[in-house]
Amino acid sequence: MALETAVIQNTLADQFGAKVSNFQQIHDILTFEVNTDDIKEVMGFLRDDKTMRFNFLTDLCGMHFPDAVPERQFGMVYHMHNWMDNVRIRIKCFMDGEKPEIDSVTGLFLSANWQERETYDFFGIIFKGHPQLKRILNMDEMVSFPMRKEFPLEDGGRTDKDDRFFGRTTDNC
Amino acid sequence: MSNSKIITDAPAPEGYSGEGFFATKLDSVVGMARANSLWPLPFATSCCGIEFMATMASHYDVARFGSERMSFSPRQADMLLVMGTIAKKMAPILRQVYEQMAEPRWVISVGACACSGGIFDTYSVLQGIDKIIPVDVYVPGCPPRPEQILDGIMRLQDLVRSESVRRRSSPEYTELLASYNIK
Taking the Cβ of residue A153 and every Cβ of chain B, the question of whether any pair is shorter than 8 Å is answered with yes
Q: In whole angstroms, what separates CA B40 from the centre of its chain? A: 8
User: In chain A, which residues have their Cβ closer than 8 Å to the Cβ of B119?
Assistant: 166
Query: Which domains occur in chain A, in start order?
Result: 5-152 (3.30.460.80)
Contact with chain B for residue A134, Cβ under 8 A: no
- How, if at all, do strands A74-82 and A87-95 pair? antiparallel
**Using 50, 70 and 90 to split pLDDT, how confident is the model at B98?**
very high
The answer to whether A125 and A95 are in contact (CB under 8 A) is yes
pLDDT-derived band of residue B110, with 50, 70 and 90 as boundaries?
A: very high
B132 near B126, Cβ under 8 Å? Answer: yes
Q: How far apart are CA B46 and CA B48, in angstroms?
A: 6
8 A C-beta contact, residue A145 and residue A122: yes
pLDDT at B65: 86
What is the pLDDT averaged over residues A104-127?
91
C-alpha distances (whole Å) from B74 to each of A97, B33, B100 are: 48, 20, 6
pLDDT in tens, B120-148: 888 888 888 988 999 999 999 999 999 99
Provide the strand spans (E) within chain B: 15-18, 21-24, 40-44, 79-83, 106-110, 137-139
* Residues annotated within a binding site of B: 47-48, 113, 142
Task: Find the CB nearest B88 among A139, A151, A154.
Answer: A139
Size of interface A-B (CB pairs under 8 A): 23
Decide if B123 and A139 are in contact by the 8 Å CB cutoff.
no
Pick from B166, B145, B146: nearest CA to B55:
B146
pLDDT at residue A158, as a whole number = 65
Annotated binding site of B for [4Fe-4S] cluster: 47-48, 113, 142
Which region among B4-18, B49-63, B104-118 has the lowest average model confidence (pLDDT)?
B4-18
pTM check: above 0.85: no
CA distance A140 to B45: 21
Rounded distance between C-alpha atoms, residue B128 and residue A155, angstroms? 14
Judge whether A80 and A74 are in contact, CB under 8 Å. Answer: no
Given this model, what pLDDT does residue B153 score?
Answer: 93
CB atoms within 10 A of CB B135: 18
The amino acid present at B108, given as its one-letter code, is: I
Q: What is the pLDDT of residues A96-105, one digit of tens each?
A: 888 888 999 9
Q: Distance from first CA to last CA of chain A, Å, rounded?
A: 51
Distance (Å) from the alpha carbon of B121 to chain A's nearest alpha carbon: 6
Contacts made by residues B172-181, CB under 8 angstroms, sequence distance 24+: B172/B1, B173/B1, B176/B1, B176/B134, B177/B134, B180/B132, B180/B133, B180/B134
Which is more confident, B109 or A96? Answer: B109
pLDDT at B1: 53
Domains of chain B: 35-180 (3.40.50.12280)
Across the interface, whether the CB atoms of A153 and B122 are under 8 A apart is answered: yes
Average pLDDT, chain A: 86
Q: Which chain B residues touch A139 with a CB distance below 8 Å?
A: 88-89
